[in-house]
Amino acid sequence: MGRFFGLLIWALTAISVIVLLRGVGAAPEAISQAGRDIDSQFYLTLAITGVVFVIAQGLLGWFIWQYREGREGTVTYIHGNNKIEVGGGVVIGVVFVALALLGQKAWAALHLAGETEDALHVEVTGQQFAWNIRYPGKDGVLGETAPQFVETVNPIGISPRDPAGKDDVMSINKLVVPVNRPVQLNLKSLDVLHDFFMPALRIKQDTVPGLSIPLRFKAEKTGTYDVACAELCGQGHYSMKATLEVMEPAQFEAWLAESAPSEE
């Protein structure tokens, strides 16, 4: 029994390593520096925890194999060993805390760095179950919104009284951004919590009614990418998808002009 069980622990360890290695590179290609930074922190963590995992399970399997009841010799009567207990705790503590501190770099770059001047501002408003995306028009200013103006053709309730709102560009479930230019999303919600998750950028952020939460990124590769809702928002949660389209700047400007509301 001991031998079988010990071998089984090793086998499960090996299977786990193989299955987890299948996840390496499973995420879509990271298209931003921040995304690559998060990836390298992830893989560093994977390497360190992988070593701890194999050592711990290896010892467990070995001791189970070795110290079965029928073995020769006597039981070692011992109540502990401070050096091993404290030493093991300290080593783990130093490594894990160092890892946590190192991980702050990527977090700080994303969330603690201030606004960049040339950033493109885009407003994203979640609602059950769609993403309303809004760009300021030529005036560079978004019009005010209020609940009483919400209707099917005006899903976020842009005020008809505010001239700044006349030229706002609306896009449903499609976020278009120029490549290599900093973007600041201002995330909002009309009703319940949602979460704007862009896997190719490795970031997600809840949208919270009552708050406007900034989320900054710079996409470095053109293409079309999936965006998912990552906070349970009701029965249609799974269907609340959007796409992120990263375009050449000229192409983006053309798209923006094309999508602008016709002059009345």
Site for another protein in 91-120 (CB under 8 A): 92-93, 96-97, 99-101, 103-107, 110-112
Question: Judged by CB under 8 A, does residue 64 bind another protein?
Answer: yes
Shortest Å distance, C-beta 169 to another protein: 21
Beta carbon nearer to another protein, 158 or 256: 158
- Nearest alpha carbon to residue 231 among 199, 196, 200, 198: 196
Residue nearer to another protein on the CB measure, 9 or 183: 9
Between 99 and 119, name the residue whose CB sits nearer to another protein: 99
H or E stretch at 227: strand 223-229
**Of residues 130-169, which lie at the interface with another protein (CB under 8 A)?**
146-148, 150-152, 157
Q: Does residue 235 bind another protein (CB under 8 A)?
A: yes
Tell me which of 119, 180, 181, 206 binds another protein, using CB under 8 A. 206
Residue type, 36: R
Q: Which of 169, 190, 219, 244 binds another protein (CB under 8 A)?
A: 190
Q: Minimum distance from CB of 253 to another protein (Å)?
A: 27
Q: Quick one: which of 119, 121, 128, 181 contacts another protein (CB under 8 A)?
A: 128
- Lookup: tokens for 126: 């979640």
208 binds another protein (CB under 8 A): yes
The separation between the first and the last C-alpha atoms of the chain, rounded to the nearest angstrom, is: 83
Site size with another protein, rule: CB under 8 A: 108
**Closest CB to another protein among 82 and 262?**
82
Q: How far apart are alpha carbons 56 and 49 in whole angstroms? A: 10
Q: Indicate whether 236 belongs to the interface with another protein (CB under 8 A).
A: yes
Alpha carbons within 13 angstroms on the beta-carbon side of residue 212 total 7
CB of 242 within 8 A of CB of 131?
yes
Q: Alpha carbon of 129 to those of 125, 132, 167, 193: distances in Å?
A: 11, 10, 25, 11
Select the residue interacting with another protein from 47, 78, 153, 250 (CB under 8 A): 78
3-class state of residue 5 by DSSP? helix
- From the list 119, 170, 179, 192, which residue makes contact with another protein (rule: CB under 8 A)? 192
219 scored as a contact of another protein (CB under 8 A)? no
What letter represents residue 44's amino acid?
A: L
- The overall longest dimension of the chain from CA atoms, in Å, is 95
Return d(Cα 208, Cα 126) in angstroms, integer: 9
Contact 34, 217 (CB under 8 A): yes
Stretch that binds another protein, among 9-17, 114-122, 172-180, 256-264 (CB under 8 A): 9-17
